[in-house]
Structure 1
C-alpha cells in the first residue's frame, strides 16, 4: 500500500487506531472517533491497548463526530473501516463532505472478506505508516494467532456443536450471518458449525427477530454481542423466549466481539475464547 507520503497527523476510528497500535503504527494518531471511553472514564473495549488519554476523542458514539474538533487537529489523513462500499464507518453522512475537505481518507474493508485477509491488509497499512512488521511483538502475535487458529480447527472437529452468533436490543434479537461477517467467515473456514439465518435483513448482516421469536434458531452455544450498546444475559433474562433457549438453560453463552480488532493481537483472544467454549460445550438442542 502506497500513501504517497507518510502522514504525520492521523485521526482514526477507535477500532482502527487500536489495530494500528498493535502493529506499532500509532505514534502519529492524534485523534479517534467512535467508542473510546466508557461512562466511568475507562477505555472502551474497542480501544484495545491504545492509550485513549493520549489522543483527542472527537466523538465517543455514533453520529457524535465533531467536525470543528477534527479540524482543530490539523489532520492529514483519516482512517476507518468500510462495511458497505463507499460508506466510511462512523463518519456521519450529513457531515462527510465537510470532513472530506479537511483531509484525505483511507477506508479498509471490514466485511465480506475473511478476518485473516483483513488483518493482512491492516498490516500492510501499518507498514506503509512506518511500523516494523518484523518486530518481535508483531511476529509473536502472528505466531499465537496461527496457533490459536489451528486449535480452533481441532476443537470444532472434535466437538461439532452448533453455534449461533447473536445480538440483543430492547425490542429485537439479531441472528448474525456467518457469510458476511469477517470473523464468522474465518470461523467457518476453520470448521465451526455456525447457524445461517434464512431470512436476512437488507444488507445481509443479520436476521431481526422479535423477542417472542428469539428461539427460532436452536444452538448448542450462543456467542452474544458484547458491545456496550447491546443487551447482555442479565438484561435478557426477563424475556421468556431467551430463557427457553437450550444454550441459555445450559449456561453455554460466550461473549462475542462483533466488531473485532483487525490485528493478530486483537483477534487471537477471541479465537481462543471460542475454542474454549466449543471444547467445554455439550450438545443440548
Structure 2
C-alpha cells in the first residue's frame, strides 16, 4: 500500500480489469421487466447526467454499496459488482444474496458477459470527489470501475446513474431516497426506516454532549496509521454536525493524514475507531506506541463501520457507534 493511501484504495482494494467486452447480446438500455410504471421515466444524477427511459426501470444492477441501499427499501437488484462478495459484505447480512448475480467481487473486475445476460435497465454506482471541495472529476472513472474504458463498455449495456459520495451523509442519504422514490418506493415504505434513522441520530446527538474526541483510522503494520479527515468523509461529517468532535489531523492531502507508528502518540483522543477493512483493534494494541494512547489505555478502541447510505443501514451504524460512545469516558 502506498503511503499516500487514497479513499478509493481504502474502500475498494486493489484494482484490476476483468471486463471481456462482448456486448453482442445487449438489447440496448432497457429491458422488459415486470412491474414497471407506465409512461416515461427520467432521473438526473450527481454528475449532471439525465437518464431517460420509456418506462420506469425495474431491473437494477450496480455497485454493492448503492444496490444495498435500494434493497433496504425493497428493490432487489439483478446483478452486483464491487470490492467483495455479497456474503462478505455486512450491508447484505440477512438478505438472500442467491437472488443476485454477482458479476464482480473484486474492485474493477466486472464480467461484462454476465452483466449483459441480466439485461439491466439501469446500473447504479457512486461518484467520489477528488478534493475537500466535493468536486467530481469527469476524467476519472466512477466508483467501481477500473478505468473510463471499462465504464464506457458497461454504459453500453445500460445507462449508469451515479450518486455523489460528497458533503454530508445526510445529503447522500436524501439523494439515494430520491432515486429510490423515482424507482417506485413509496413514502409509506420509507416512513419507519426514516423514523429509526432520526431516532439513531438523536441518540448520537445526546452522546455528543459527553464532549469526547474521536479519531477514525485505517492502520497497517508496515505503513502506519492513516487518520481520516472528518470533513472529507460523508458519514464522519454528519456525525460532526450532530456534535461529535474529530480533531483535524493536519496535513495537506485529501481525506487522509498518514502518520508513522512512532508518531501516532502526537494524536491523542478519547476514542479511536478502526476500519473494518484494515488492522483490527486488537492488532493495533499490539503496537507499543499505539498502546500508549489514552484511548488504548482506556480500552476505548471501537469499530469504524462503513455502511450504505440509506435510512436502514445508517440507523444501524449510528446506533452501534452511539452504544460504544455511551460506554466511553473522557481520558484526554
Out of 187, 192, 195, which is 1:143 matched to? 195
Q: Deviation of residue 48 (structure 1)? A: 4.6
Alignment pair present for 1:246 and 2:291 = no
**8 A Cα contact 2:262 2:289, kept in partner:** yes
Alignment pair present for 1:167 and 2:218 = yes
Within 5 Å, which residues of 2 pair with 1:73-92? 73-84=118-129, 85=136, 86=138, 87-92=141-146
Q: Which ranges in structure 2 are unaligned for 5 or more consecutive residues?
A: 1-41, 44-50, 130-135
C-alpha distance 116-275 of structure 1, shift in aligned 2 (>3 A): same
Map of 1:217 onto structure 2: 267
Structure 1: distance between partners of 2:126 and 2:265: 32
Map of 2:159 onto structure 1: 104
**8 A Cα contact 1:212 1:240, kept in partner:** no
C-alpha distance 147-236 of structure 1, shift in aligned 2 (>3 A): same
Alignment pair present for 1:281 and 2:331 = no
Report the RMSD for the aligned CA atoms in angstroms.
Answer: 1.9
Out of 102, 115, 120, which is 1:70 matched to? 115
Map of 2:303 onto structure 1: 255
Residue by residue over 1:62-106, the C-alpha shift from the partner in whole angstroms, topping out at 9 and shown as x without a partner, is 122222322232223110111122441111105222222222100
Q: Deviation of residue 49 (structure 1)? A: 4.8
Out of 269, 273, 277, which is 2:316 matched to? 269
C-alpha distance 280-103 of structure 1, shift in aligned 2 (>3 A): same
Out of 118, 133, 138, which is 2:172 matched to? 118
Q: Which moved more, 1:78-87 or 1:248-257?
A: 78-87
Out of 68, 85, 89, which is 1:37 matched to? 85
C-alpha distance 103-23 of structure 1, shift in aligned 2 (>3 A): same
Alignment pair present for 1:155 and 2:207 = yes
C-alpha distance 154-234 of structure 1, shift in aligned 2 (>3 A): closer
**8 A Cα contact 1:35 1:46, kept in partner:** no
Out of 202, 207, 232, which is 1:180 matched to? 232
TM-score, length basis structure 1:
0.88
> How many correspondences in the alignment?
271
Out of 55, 61, 79, which is 1:11 matched to? 61
**8 A Cα contact 2:177 2:310, kept in partner:** yes
C-alpha distance 53-215 of structure 1, shift in aligned 2 (>3 A): farther
Q: Deviation of residue 9 (structure 1)? A: 2.3
C-alpha distance 21-198 of structure 1, shift in aligned 2 (>3 A): same
Structure 2: distance between partners of 1:264 and 1:221: 25
